[in-house]
Structure 1
Amino acid sequence: MHHTVEAMEALLDRVGGAGLLFDVDRAAAEDRAIQVRHRATSAPLWIIGDLHGDLLALETALAVIDKESAGPDRPQLVFLGDLFDDEGYGLEILLRVFELALRSPGDVCVIAGNHDEALSYDGAYFASSVVPADFAEFLNANLAHEWISRAGKLAVRFFRQAPRALFFLDGLLVAHGGFPLSDLHAKLQETGDWNEPACLSDFVWTRCHPTARRKIPNRFSRGSQFGHQDFAAFCDLGVRLGRPVTHMVRGHDHVEDRYAVPPAYALHPVLTTVALSRRLPREAFGPYRRVPTLARYVEGALPQVYRMHIPDSLIDEFYPDPMEQEMRAAVEAPK
């Protein structure tokens, strides 16, 4: 931890910036909605969705990427955000992603998710504007631990600078949540300012409704959804603003199969991919053990989905099912 945190602090302090993947495409240092002008390499580009402390899923994804990425070029990684919260191994995930970035900064991009963006530090305590917020609670319980506390402060700093969206030349939009919703289109058309705070917020917070045509933006609870006609309207706007969008990959919604391509979005396809091997405590339905996914960039098409079939015994070892534990304790309790 000491070495990783110190080295990552030095990387962010580097003159000219950290030099992470796609940083060279930023219009300015503060640009968070990056138009990727070209990819100067044939290296495979992999997209890893929400992890929420799922160290098992991350290591499985890295093993799959290593196996599938034949060729001389080092694989490139895009993380869709939400590295922590929902129990699991939040600190370990954060440090592991930092390790990957330090090994080869130009091959790793981390997009901010809503849980990442929500983390803050006021000089005394950590806080979060979302629930669950167990990572902030963990950091506050370890304020006396220098390196855990510094890791938390580093996370706040890192995600403050992190991209909120990537626009690829083939029409692919990459974001944690979605895109600027309809009530922002007129102003965006007028100003062309993709970094306006409300636009950046929509890239992070909006959710995909699988069947609706249109949804009314809800800016009071950050619970806005979009429908397939909303996405089509945004794609039209992108053409007018010189950023054509035809399809999108995102995370944010913890779909049961850990990936989804809603048929209603046939005109402009949307892929949701999530790298979670267990049912989170706030997920009410479905099996406890899940099949996490990751995706591989395919130029001009939706990314290719890879399903990672992790043995149940490993999932149980990392994340024991609380319900099964309660049932076992009840059976074993003395009569």
Structure 2
Amino acid sequence: MSYIKPKFRHPRLPTNNLGYTIADYDGAISTLCAGCGHDSISASIRNACFKSSLHPHRIAKISGIGCSSKMPTYFLSRSHGFNSVHGRMPSVATGASLANRDLTYVGVSGDGDTASIGMGQFIHLMRRNVNMTYIVANNGCYGLTKGQDSATADLGSISKYGDVNGFDGIDLASLAILQGASFVARSFSGDKEQLEPLIRAAMAHNGFAFIDVVSPCVTFNNHNGSTKSYAETRDHLDAMPVDFVPMRDEIRTQYAEGTSQSVTLHDGSVIHLRKAVSGLATNDRQSALNTIKSNEDKARILTGLLFLDPDTQNLSTSLELATRPLNELGKDELCPGSKVLKSINEGLR
């Protein structure tokens, strides 16, 4: 079996506004299990970047450790990339974004990488409002170490080995809303019609954007009794279809009155939420939390855009950092001399 992709591309492949084809956003051939939901997320990220006409070399993809953190290999081979230590991706993402705010940052993590060893770093990433898109491929188990329950495994879920989980699972979307994330969404890896526009909206958002994606593990968590299998997830979805309209496109909507909600982002892009769940106000944290809990009590998985603060201020702006990347600053700017240093020290006394 070959893991090398052929270089031949059809000469009539469609191009985006920058002249790139979808092949320019490809990565290596996946070595994950056939049918893994993570591969669908990789494809959605690739498609979102192509449709949003982002330069591949202006994107930085960052991950931790786990099946999910292998995903950046499988999309955007022409972008920057960093595979960090288990649970420590937020530190790398924070440092990189502060050093160069001109790149689009995409962090890919898993429920173990985020909800267990990386929980502390994840929370600080949200409260600082680092300007990035953070995607969790959530399958409720540790697929890389033979399927043990993760911290997001639902109460009562049955493992492949017949064990019943006796602990409440951590709801990462609710946690993100509670801890101050300025963009929170949930989706399903098998629903690209919803996931792709959510990723595009997240990348256009000015601040920390979090997407929790239910992504079934076909090897260890796709059986009867699992609450994160393909069949169980599809049967319990409460999905809100989403449209994303970039600023450069004409904005037109044909939805019936009362069935759509439009939210304008800081750059003029618009998110259209169709048939929004009754009672959900996406600009109100408490309303979002109540609606998520209400669906959870009914054994439903609420997906779509759950919360958005369109007027948020990201970390680089809050700290009033240099607008130019640090590697573009000259010696005189980086080392302004003892007189400037003395004045700074005096200001701190």
TM-score scaled to structure 2, two decimals?
Answer: 0.30
Q: Max radius of gyration: which structure?
A: 2
Of structures 1 and 2, the one with the larger relative CO (CA 8 A, separation 6+) is 1
